[in-house]
Amino acid sequence: MKVSCYRKDGEFTYSLGATVTMEYLNKKIEDVKCVFIHPDFDSEDTKTRIYEICGRNAIPVSVEEKPFNILSKKGNCFVIAMLAKRMTPIEPGNHMVLVNPSNSGNMGTIIRSCLGFGVTDIAIVPPAADHYDPKVIRASMGACASVRIEVFSSFEAYMARFPENNLYPFMLDGSTILQDTSIDKPFSLIMGNEAAGLPSSFAFIGRPVRIRHSEDIDSLNITIAAGIGLYEATREELR
Amino acid sequence: MKVSCYRKDGEFTYSLGATVTMEYLNKKIEDVKCVFIHPDFDSEDTKTRIYEICGRNAIPVSVEEKPFNILSKKGNCFVIAMLAKRMTPIEPGNHMVLVNPSNSGNMGTIIRSCLGFGVTDIAIVPPAADHYDPKVIRASMGACASVRIEVFSSFEAYMARFPENNLYPFMLDGSTILQDTSIDKPFSLIMGNEAAGLPSSFAFIGRPVRIRHSEDIDSLNITIAAGIGLYEATREELR
């Protein structure tokens, strides 16, 4: 398999690192095209598991340094899987909706929190960071392998598909305080852009909520706000 | 004022960026030694405010490019303040305790969340990332200017100073579920290292709590866990 730098318009993406790659081998093997192991990788246990899973699934494994030089400039990465990009339509139920998310690391962190709180369907409204980007996959610690992520043409298109969902846009001037409210199921937690937040038009959609916090900060970091929203919305759920 | 790369054992640190620097000018002016403005900085409003505050407080302002080349390789930074490092002992009350935090960005994000939920006293137990690092200050969005941060020689030294605090170590195998418990004041939320968590000895300290989450992830990101802990502990507080 020939490896080239990740491209947004390319056919493949990559999981960088052993932990992340193991998530794909265990949870989404159908996307794995091949696995590269660095010649210096010394975890025999992990190597054995990779060969075992890949052997059983007829996935080529190659020990070579070159893909690491191309894909992982930082070093500290000894296993890479080449992954097919495949859109998985989201299903009815509780959703996280990311409107114009711009930072790959934040997107990955939010996806990990979503999986942590059992919200496995994530809608994205562009313009948005590319959710196939290896940076997103890595920041998610491989959680990307266990969730469905669908990109919609607009927020209206999302709403039209899930008219039964209770919409909770998170806004700094939301009229409902998260701490004092209960989130009805099925819910859509709607988060805006890191810097700009949600467009003001969202004030007229569903029940706009804000997280009560001190006036000493302008806002919470978006990944923290999303984490707290997920925690509160699923408070009774995972018992 | 001569500027050199940030050094852990140096006397000074730096706020990189206009927003962060404004926080120091507004909240902790006594630490500001001088301010540098990039010749290309074009926000007249901010410039006026900087000159006004610095003029009133006899703080030198210098328009020059050199400090930016030395301190901010990334660009996208047009204002820098040189700051004296000054330890501010924490006071009795609710605390965040970071045991062996290793990542500067995470530390800054947690400090911002602390300020957001009114927990303005933060204890650090080494080995730990340097909380004066400009990366911490920047990730905190300047929240560092509004909190007290004290480094203790050991967790025992911290406990001895605040024997009245209710200790809540956050552990993956904590016996109390955060969702089902109420946090007694004054509290100490105790967070471990990003990768390793807290040493197992903390299982015998105070009331070890865990955040109930699905088995599909090993753990939540430490900044998310800290944010959720702060949210839950201050749920009734900020009303």
- pLDDT, one tens digit per residue, over A37-72 is 999 999 999 999 999 999 999 999 999 999 999 998
- Identical fold for domains B12-84 and B95-233, yes or no, is no
Using 70 as the pLDDT threshold, list the residues of chain B that sit under it.
Answer: 237-239
Residue B55 CB-density burial (10 A; 0-12 exposed, 13-18 middle, 19+ buried) = exposed
Q: Kindly list the domain boundaries of chain B, sorted by start residue.
A: 12-84, 95-233
Buried b vs exposed e over A16-53: b needs ≥16 C-beta within 10 Å? bbbebbbbbbebbeebbebbbbbeebeeeebbeebeeb
Among B115, B214, B239, beta carbon nearest to A238: B214
Residue in this structure with the two tokens 């330890």, named with its chain if needed: B87
- Mutation site, A121, A172, A220, interface B, largest B CB count within 10 A: A220
What's the CA gap between A108 and A106, in Å, rounded?
5
Domain B95-233 belongs to what topology?
A: Alpha/beta knot (3.40.1280)
Distance CA B71, CA B94 (A): 35
Average pLDDT, chain A: 96
| Model confidence pLDDT, tens digit, residues B37-92 | 999 999 999 999 999 999 999 999 999 999 999 999 877 899 999 999 998 999 99
Strand-pair category, A61-63 with A121-125: unpaired
Q: How many CB atoms lie within 10 A of CB A172?
A: 15
A228 contacts B231? CB cut-off 8 A:
yes
ipTM of the complex: 0.95
Residue pair B115/A214 in contact (Cβ under 8 Å)? The answer is yes
Identify the residue whose tokens are 């932990």. Answer: A19
Q: Which CATH architecture has domain A12-84?
A: 2-Layer Sandwich (3.30)
Query: Which residues of B sit within 8 Å Cβ distance of A?
Result: 109, 112-113, 115-118, 141, 143, 146, 179, 211-214, 216-218, 220-221, 223-224, 227-228, 231-232, 235-236, 238-239
Cβ-based interface (< 8 Å): residues of A facing B? 109, 112-113, 115-118, 141, 143, 146, 179, 211-214, 216-218, 220-221, 223-224, 227-228, 231-232, 235-236, 238-239
Q: Residue A188: what pLDDT?
A: 98
Cβ within 8 Å, pair A117-B179: no
Under DSSP, is residue B236 helix (H, G, I), strand (E, B) or coil?
coil
**For the whole model, what pTM was predicted?**
0.96
**Nearest CA-CA distance, residue B194 and chain A, Å:** 13
In angstroms, what CA-CA distances link B180 with A34, A235, B46, B175, B211? 44, 9, 46, 11, 10
Residue A202 C-alpha, separation from nearest chain B C-alpha, in angstroms: 24
